[in-house]
Structure 1
Amino acid sequence: MSRFRMYPTAAQEQRMLLHCAHARYVWNLAVEQHAHWKPGRRSAPGFAEQCRQLTEARRDNAWLRAGNAEVQQQALRDFAGAKAARFAYGFGEPTWRKKFVHEGFRVIGTDRVPEFHPDGTPQLNARTGRQVMGRSVVVRRLNRRWARVKVPGCGWVRFRLTRAGLPQAKTFRVTFRNYQWHIAFAVIPEPVEAPGTGEVIGIDRGVTITAALSDGRKLNCPRLTTRERARVRKHQRRAARAPKGSDRKRDEYAKVARIKAREAARRKDWCEKTSTLLARTYHLIRFEKLNVKNMTASARGTVEQPGTRVRQKAGLNRAILAQGWGLLRRRTGEKAPGRVEDVPAPYTSLRCSACGWIEKDSRKSQAEFVCVSCGFGCNADENAAVNVAAGQGGIPRPRRTAGAGGVTAATGRSSAREPRPTRVGIPLL
């Protein structure tokens, strides 16, 4: 996806908000139709039948008829794609879309352009022998920094050009969030070419240091400044004191949303630049395998079994999500396909990268690692990154070369003093 910031006029913004409302309304109608199905009833209508029903609904509903039929049909197509993904890839059922949360719509191109094969030869119709004509989005460049796109019912809408060249796409999606409009063109970017050096890098992700590289570099995701955090607290306090449902409360929350949107934009920009740097510099990139969704789950619990230390866990969740771990891993994998691997996370931070001995007492603090076996010391995150680069993760199983009083093959220590794999002090194989 190629994503750009849009700057519509006041009249265009109102029209696009109406498009968002229509797309959300049609989507929720489709969700309701499929939620009504039960075993023994007729199957829910498909995309073609829903389009026919949409035509009848537009004839009877003046509010729906005032919108663009193409935008509403694309919402039904998105729903059909979500249902197909549920059966093909195991995703969940499509859920309801809410106002102020799911604001967006999709548009397909209107220009007729010839289609070509990847090698540059024209695509020909097998029956007629004529060149295949496809659709393309209508985009025009205004100058070096600005361009415009044709949105149905809105005319030409300006957007900021932050990449070289105009996007060539068949469809685009317009979204509205945190009082900002964005347009995303459905373009598959070319993968970044491997440097050909064969260099392997390991990346350990953390809260204090966002990404510690095995070559000693430490990369940190930008956060809000001290003054910006103070402004967020100030506006949140003012919103809390404002009457419920008042314009003042809404305006104060809007100011908070704008500041947090700035933080999210910085985080995304950092992830894009860092993933490009990794894909261009290293041949093989290894990440510590982390399940961010489970790590940031709430500790609230249930009414019967309430959780403990909920506020502390919520603060940790916010700190983890502010680092952009998942986005960095996903974008690196998309830019360097086939060159990104995940290494199991257990014991990567407790294993000595010099001798391979695993001991919890070696981790002196968050930033200090001193091996109790060989005395090797370095930064704890850098030590974990070296283990990730070597692919040493997970729980190792000690291998014995002698009997009960023999010597282990990995470290030369007596197996009589060797603990079991479920405890600390496990030698590396």
Structure 2
Amino acid sequence: MAEHTSTYEPRTGIERWVDARLPLPRLLWDSFVTYPIPRNLNYAYTFGAILMMMLGAQIITGVVLAMHYVPSGTMAFVSVEAIMRDVNYGWLLRYMHATGASMFFIAVYVHIFRGLYYGSYKEPREILWLLGVIIFILMMATAFMGYVLPWGQMSFWGATVITNLFSAIPLVGSAIVTWLWGGFAVGSPTLNRFFALHYLLPFMIAGVVVLHVWALHVVGQTNPTGINIKAKQDAVPFTPHATIKDALGMVVFMIVFAYFLFYVPNYLGHSDNYIQANPLATPSEIVPEWYFLPFYAILRSIPSKLGGVIAMFGAIVMLALMPWLDTSKVRSAVYRPLYRQFFWIHVLVSIGLGYIGSQPPAGGFIIVGRILTAYYFIHFLVIVPLLGLLETPKPRPASITEAVLEKHGRGLALPERTVSNTKVGG
């Protein structure tokens, strides 16, 4: 855990007046200027800032799009086309929002795998990790409802298939489906419900993000060594060290985002969604957006409908349970050679599940999907706990400073710049 004494000094009478009544400037200064962070953070840690940037972009573009969208079974598809053709820069707003959702999930998956690699879920960061999983679940719900709103063929049939899954829940399943539909079939009431929730959930995500950042500042930032800050020379102030890295990471990410936005905006979507929803014509293949494909593959791999639903949601529960499934006392995979190998196998399995989810559920794809699904759960429930008991980790440095010296050569001297008025604890 890292604690530091506030160094904020109001310079004007107005600043002193505000600071005495609502010390928001002091909070921002202490959290994003002088806050001590490990000196060895790499660019994998910039995805938190990238995600906050993307959340802001999604909320802004979503609010503007909502001003022109009509949540009606007869007008939804037409209103989206009107946004694209008749609203000033509507095409840009729509593509920013749709492509931004994919970019959002790319960033969040990198963020999750980085946390798994460096052990960001371990004590005392369990609540921080659980808040991250809650954000992920809210993101998935928001994205699914947003995918329904264009009211194309894939939107309509995707909503029909996914909402029908809740009917597998004993006793209350049919009532849940009826409530989601607003009737006895997917239609305008369903669209109204999804539009209202799609508009609300991003603000809920923003609220949980605030809690996530607060929890991060309470327990302190992890780092590639997995060792806590133990002395002043282990830490540097958030600004300029983290802000410069975050800014560079966001610029590079925005370049990738801009490429998809301006050159291939429909590459990550489905062509059937440019056909207006028709309840009487079922698409040859009903698939969700690419970021749901691994979970869709798990769902299809279980022969039982209820079993598939349990397995799909269980895949997310596995992430939430990682703080208690991992029995190793070593946090970072840098010093865990066996865990590191199985981690990359797990990454490949997750990508493989995504590919299987995009393929027809027939022949060898079913067999491979079941094998990958089985391994996914074995990884969390068997391999991770056993590795903590059987693995012999590499020797860890005594401090972050020692790790930096080992990386750059023991003869190098560290800069003297440290965090002023900082008290840090392990």
Normalised by the shorter chain, which TM-score bucket?
Answer: under 0.3
Which has the larger share of strand?
A: 1
Answer 1 or 2: which has greater helix percent: 2
User: TM-score by structure 1 length?
Assistant: 0.25
**TM-score, normalised via structure 2 length:** 0.25
Higher normalized contact order (CA 8 Å, seq sep 6+, divided by chain length): 2
Bigger-Rg structure (1/2):
1
